[in-house]
Structure 1
Amino acid sequence: MYMKNIIFRFFNKIITIIFLFILSSYTVYADFSKTWENASTSVVSVLPTWPGYQKPGFGAPDGTAPEGSGVIISKNGIIITASHVVSRATEVIVRDINGHLHNAEIIFNSPATDLALLKTDIINKNIIINYNKPKVGSSVCLISNSFGLDLNITCGVVSSNKKSGIGFNSIEDFIQIDAAANPGSSGGAVVNKNGELLGIMSGIFTKESDTNVGVNFAISSKLLNKTINHFIK
């Protein structure tokens, strides 16, 4: 009987180790390549020119990243971005995933929601918007121009699907995510695993610097719909 108990405990430990190995392997090797393929062509880098400067990305005010991100939301070249990325810019240029530069015109700016719209000549690359509230714990990715290093993807989970009163904007309806976000990510696309737009990156919660600590906030697609629905065609 004693030997049977030892054997049972031994096999129980082996099964537990195998289970944990499989679980950790899934976490490390989760494949988001299709997410990138489906959404990245609809994301751009946003290059504002600030007052007193002649080149995009130079002279940004203190606390403002010199570059940002944006998402193509209509077939006629409308791009949504964060208001704080372009609000003081004298000129805006966007760079698509292929490195091509396009002039952009600010046609809507709402500091209260931190949303702005740009008109460009880019066509037929719009993202699919998902207006359903994402489930807490579901997979989520951020495609953005992090640190001005061109488009890249980071992934994590939805930490909360309804946050307000954070203090970033006057009007807030945020999705909280733990996917890494950094300066330059503002205006980037927060998407589900299918590459559908869930929100627009707006703020990084930190008390020391604008570096990622895994508490990041995206403006929900529900608020996008209320704010700029009549621009989407």
Structure 2
Amino acid sequence: MKGNKKFIISGAILILIGITIGLILASKFDIQTKGFSEDYQISKESQETLSKIGNAMAEVVQAVRPSVVNIYTTKKIKRQNIPFPFNDPFFRRFFDEEFGDFFGKQREFTQTSLGSGVIVDGVNGYILTNYHVIKGADEIKVKLFDKRVFDGNIIGYDAKTDIAVIKIKADGLRAIKWGDSDKLKVGETVIAIGNPYGLNLTVTSGIVSATGRANVGISDYEDFIQTDAAINPGNSGGPLVNVKGELVGINTAIFSTTGGYQGIGFAIPSNMAKVVMDNLIKHKKVVRGWLGVTVMDVDPQMAKANNMKEVKGAVVTDVQEGSPADKAKITMKDIIITFDGKEVEDSAHLRNLVVSTPPGKTVKIEIIRNGKHYSVTATVGELPAEKKVSLSDSVLAGIYVEDLTPKLRNQLGLPSRVNGVVISSIEQGARAEGVLMRGDVIVEINNQKINNSKDFAKVAAQTKGSATVWFYRNGRGLYTILNAGE
């Protein structure tokens, strides 16, 4: 009995001690909580500043959103009914006789895609977007901010810059204001608006991460604005605007290993887009300037040998006879440092400056020759049209190629033993579309070696029926068979 009393008393004492400790801890926690809220209050000034920034961003978005459109496209594609592995030439050689009809049949599919665009002329209904958004489309639908939907008609496109202009017939369109992309600074705030994953009029913001990005491998003429504003599939063709609500870029692509946003997006500068757009509306094609030189980047050794303070400019490696550069007495080894009053950063920058110059314009060019500075003038010519094989003549028609230069060889990671021509683009509707692609290096056609563009043109012109094409892609040797079809 005495033992039980002692046990009960001990238990009661422990409970009292526990309650006391709990009250003390609760009191301390309450004090710390009160101290936390008192010490970390947001000042009125900070709240007002953040509110002003938020309201300012909202005003910009509200001003721009009515100019942004969603673009929906559909196209019909035909595919041969050939299951794996019977599409392999080895299998078809033995089974064509028995299953020829099965192999030859084609099924028609409807492919849909989405993108974005921006109204640049409310009176005429012109909308700017990416070429890859409307490429090959049989039908284009444009959905406006106010939910109205219209048929879109293609005015023109330029695959080399990935720009397209479409037109709709509608009243009450609000055009966006043009901005000067040349004045963009790294670190400047920008806003991207578009239709990612079909989510209408999504707004993201970020900064300009870099300007003048080239050699990205997206288009032939690259001068991209790089931004960390989230750009995802479906944003293509939508506007990139500054804090004034002005158009400074056309969202074009992302750099991603997953297919989604990873902090690196690219936009075509508004100044480049406007030049292309004006040409497409006026001429139905893009008229580009031409100097007639082949150039490469300046390296540190060359800069040092020519007493240059900075590693900038473009080294002339070849001059085409009779070209504007030839008439201006520009020679091999000259280093072009300025063109028409603008400093030349590298070979890609010079290329963009030249093609953006109207043919017939006389420009001043500063060069360094053997360490000495000279100034020459040249009248810019019109870039000659690329030579291609007529669509009616060859199964290889519509393939644009260029000779394999040391720079291209290095970019593509090709071994020295590989010779051939690099595919620069493939025309819509060509037999090679969807089979071969830009950047592939064609090395052989129907057992004939292809060493340069002249070889390609000669062999292609003679290839009427089918063509067995051997090529390199991503460091691997591959082949495909192109058939003329019906």
Question: So what's the TM-score if we normalise by structure 2?
Answer: 0.39
Cα displacement (A) at 1:95:
0.3
Write the distance in 2 (CA, Å) between the matches of 1:135 and 1:26.
23
Q: Give the equivalent residue in structure 1 for 2:194.
A: 144
Instruction: Kindly report which structure 2 residues correspond to 1:1-233, keeping only aligned pairs within 5 A, or say none.
Output: 26=50, 30-31=54-55, 32-52=57-77, 59-60=111-112, 66-75=113-122, 76-123=124-171, 124-133=173-182, 134-206=184-256, 208-230=257-279, 231=281
Write the distance in 2 (CA, Å) between the matches of 1:145 and 1:114.
18
Tell whether the 8 Å contact from 2:181 to 2:269 is kept in structure 1 after alignment: no
**SS at 1:50 equivalent:** strand
> What is the CA deviation profile of residues 173-203 of structure 1, one whole-angstrom value per residue up to 9, with x for unaligned ones?
1111100011100001100112110010111
Write the distance in 1 (CA, Å) between the matches of 2:276 and 2:223.
12
Q: Which has the larger radius of gyration?
A: 2
Tell whether the 8 Å contact from 1:34 to 1:194 is kept in structure 2 after alignment: no
Cα displacement (A) at 1:210:
2.1
One-letter identity of the residue aligned with 1:59: Q
Write the distance in 1 (CA, Å) between the matches of 2:59 and 2:170.
23
One-letter identity of the residue aligned with 1:51: K
**SS at 1:140 equivalent:** strand
Write the distance in 1 (CA, Å) between the matches of 2:237 and 2:254.
12
Q: Give the equivalent residue in structure 2 for 1:14.
A: none
Cα displacement (A) at 1:35:
1.3
One-letter identity of the residue aligned with 1:69: S
Tell whether the 8 Å contact from 1:69 to 1:184 is kept in structure 2 after alignment: yes
**SS at 1:51 equivalent:** strand
**SS at 1:102 equivalent:** strand
Write the distance in 1 (CA, Å) between the matches of 2:207 and 2:197.
21
One-letter identity of the residue aligned with 1:199: G
Which structure has the higher relative contact order (CA within 8 Å, separation 6+)? 1
> What is the CA deviation profile of residues 95-144 of structure 1, one whole-angstrom value per residue up to 9, with x for unaligned ones?
00111101100111111101111010134411101124211111100010
Cα displacement (A) at 1:164:
1.3
Write the distance in 2 (CA, Å) between the matches of 1:168 and 1:30.
34
Structure 1 182/132 Cα, relative in aligned 2: closer, same or farther at 3 Å?
closer
Write the distance in 2 (CA, Å) between the matches of 1:163 and 1:41.
30
Write the distance in 1 (CA, Å) between the matches of 2:127 and 2:211.
24
Write the distance in 2 (CA, Å) between the matches of 1:30 and 1:210.
30
**SS at 2:245 equivalent:** coil
Cα displacement (A) at 1:26:
4.5
One-letter identity of the residue aligned with 2:271: K
Q: Which runs of 4+ in 1 moved over 6 A?
A: none
- Superposed CA RMSD: 2.5
Identity of aligned residues (%): 34
**SS at 1:108 equivalent:** strand
Q: Which runs of 5+ in 1 are unaligned?
A: 1-17, 61-65
One-letter identity of the residue aligned with 1:178: D
**SS at 2:178 equivalent:** coil
Question: So what's the TM-score if we normalise by structure 1?
Answer: 0.80
Tell whether the 8 Å contact from 2:181 to 2:249 is kept in structure 1 after alignment: no
Aligned length in residues: 204
